[in-house]
Amino acid sequence: MRGAVLFLLVFALLPFLPLGVWRAYLLDAGVFMLLYTALALSWDLVARTGQLSLAHGAFFGLGAYGVGLLVPHVGTLPALVLGSLLAGCFALLLGSVTLRLHGLYFAIASLAFSEVLRTLALKLPFTGGPIGLAVPPAFGGGVPLAPYYLAFAVLAVAVGLSLWAERGPFRLAQAACRQSEPVARVLGVRVVRVKLLSLLLGSLVAGLAGGVYAMKALFINPYEAFSLGRAVEALVIPIFGGLYTTLGPLLGGVVLVGLEQVLRLWIQEGYLVVYGAILILVILFLPRGLLGLLGRRRG
C-alpha cells in the first residue's frame, strides 16, 4: 500500500523535477511505462482469480481502435470511456461463455480471441485495414503533457482498483477462486461472478490504457494494436515483479519497460525472446517474483 502510493507520487512529480535535457525523453518514455504498468496491473487483477488471460493485448487494442474511431466525433474523454466500455463488452461476452468451464478453456479462448481480432481488424471495412488508422492527439493537441497525465490517471485507476481488490471480502473471494474452485463454492463464493467481475474490471483498465496509447502514438495498425507481444508484456511484468500484489506489477513495470527501451536498440525483432526466457526462469526458480526475492510476504 505505502509502496504503491510512493510509486504514484514519483510519477506525479516527474514533470516538475529539474531533469534538464533528460526531461523530454523521460516524460515520453514515462507515458509508455505508465500505460504498460497499468496494463500489467489489470492482468494481475484477473490472474488473482486463477485465470490466465492471454487477451489483454486484445482489450488494449480494442480500446485503441475504439478511441481512434470515436475521438473525431465525440471528443477525448468520452471516447476514452467508450473505448474502454467496448473492451469491457467483449470481455463479458468472452467471459460469460468460458469462465463457467475449466480454467484452461478461458486461457485458450482468450488467446484465440486476440488472434481473431487482428484478422478482423485487417479485414473489416471501417478499420483502415492493414494500413491502419490515424488518431488525432488528445484534446486537439493543445496540452503538450496531456498524454502523460492521462496515462498517469489510468495507472492511478488501476492502482486504486487493485488496492480495493486487495482488501476486504473481495480479496478472499478471489483467493478462494484461485486456490480451489470447489472449496470456494462450498464457502458460498459466487465463483463465476467473481471471475467475471475481475475480468470486466481488468478489461476496462486495459481498454483505457489502449485508448491513451492510441492518442500518444497517433497512429495504430492491427499488427501493433493487437500484437501478441502486448499480451506477453502484460503477463511477464506481474510475474517478474510478484504475482497477486499491487507493488509487484509496479516494480516489474518500471524494471522491464526500462529494460525494453535499452533492448530495442540491440534487437529490433525478436526481443520477445528475452520475455520468454524471463517467463520460464521466473516460473521455475522465482515463483514469487522480485517481491519474493525481497522477502516480503503478502497475498
Partner 1 sequence: MELFLQTLINGLLMAGVYALVATGLALSLGVVGIVNFAHGEFLMVGAYLSYLLYAAQGVDPLLSLGLAFLAAFLVGALAYWGLIRPVLRAPELNQMLLTFGLSILLQNLALLLFGADTRVVAPPYQAATLAIGPFFLGAVPLGAFFLSLSLLLALYLFLTRAPLGLAMRAVAQNRLAPGLLGIEAERVYLLAFGLAAALAGVAGVMLSVMLYASPTVGFLFTLKSFAIVALAGLGNLRGVIPAALVLALAEALVSTYVPGGGGLVEAVFFLVLFLALVGRAWRWG
Binding site for partner 1 (CB under 8 A): 47, 50-52, 54, 97-98, 100-105, 107-109, 111-113, 115-116, 119-120, 122-123, 178, 228, 232, 235, 239, 267, 269-273, 275-280, 283-284, 287
**Minimum Å distance from CB 144 to partner 1?**
36
**Minimum Å distance from CB 134 to partner 1?**
23
Query: The C-alpha cell of 59 is what?
Result: 482489450
Query: The C-alpha cell of 135 is what?
Result: 488518431
- Residue 37: alpha-carbon gap to chain centroid: 7
Residue with smaller CB distance to partner 1, 112 or 131:
112
Residue 105 CA to residue 133 CA, distance in Å, equals 33
Residue with smaller CB distance to partner 1, 24 or 120:
120
What are the backbone angles phi and psi of residue 158, rounded to the nearest 5°?
A: -60, -45
**Minimum Å distance from CB 68 to partner 1?**
21
Within 13 Å, how many C-alpha atoms sit on residue 86's CB side?
Answer: 25
**Minimum Å distance from CB 118 to partner 1?**
9
Q: Which amino acid is at 104?
A: L
The DSSP symbol for 66 reads: H
Alpha-helix runs per DSSP H in the chain = 2-13, 22-47, 56-74, 76-98, 103-123, 146-166, 168-179, 181-186, 191-217, 222-225, 228-241, 247-266, 272-285, 289-293
Residue with smaller CB distance to partner 1, 118 or 216:
118
Query: The C-alpha cell of 83 is what?
Result: 473505448
**Minimum Å distance from CB 22 to partner 1?**
31
Residue with smaller CB distance to partner 1, 34 or 191:
191
- Report yes or no: 195 and 49 within 8 Å, Cβ to Cβ: yes
Residue with smaller CB distance to partner 1, 111 or 135:
111
Residue 38 CA to residue 155 CA, distance in Å, equals 5
**Minimum Å distance from CB 25 to partner 1?**
27
- Residue 116: alpha-carbon gap to chain centroid: 19
Residue with smaller CB distance to partner 1, 1 or 104:
104
**Minimum Å distance from CB 257 to partner 1?**
17
**Minimum Å distance from CB 141 to partner 1?**
35
Please state, as a whole number, how many other Cβ atoms lie within 10 Å of the Cβ of residue 64. Answer: 29
- What separation in angstroms does the CA of 275 have from each of 158, 242, 243? 23, 15, 16
Residue 273 CA to residue 275 CA, distance in Å, equals 5
Query: The C-alpha cell of 15 is what?
Result: 514533470
Packing angle, helices 56-74 and 76-98, rounded to 10: 150
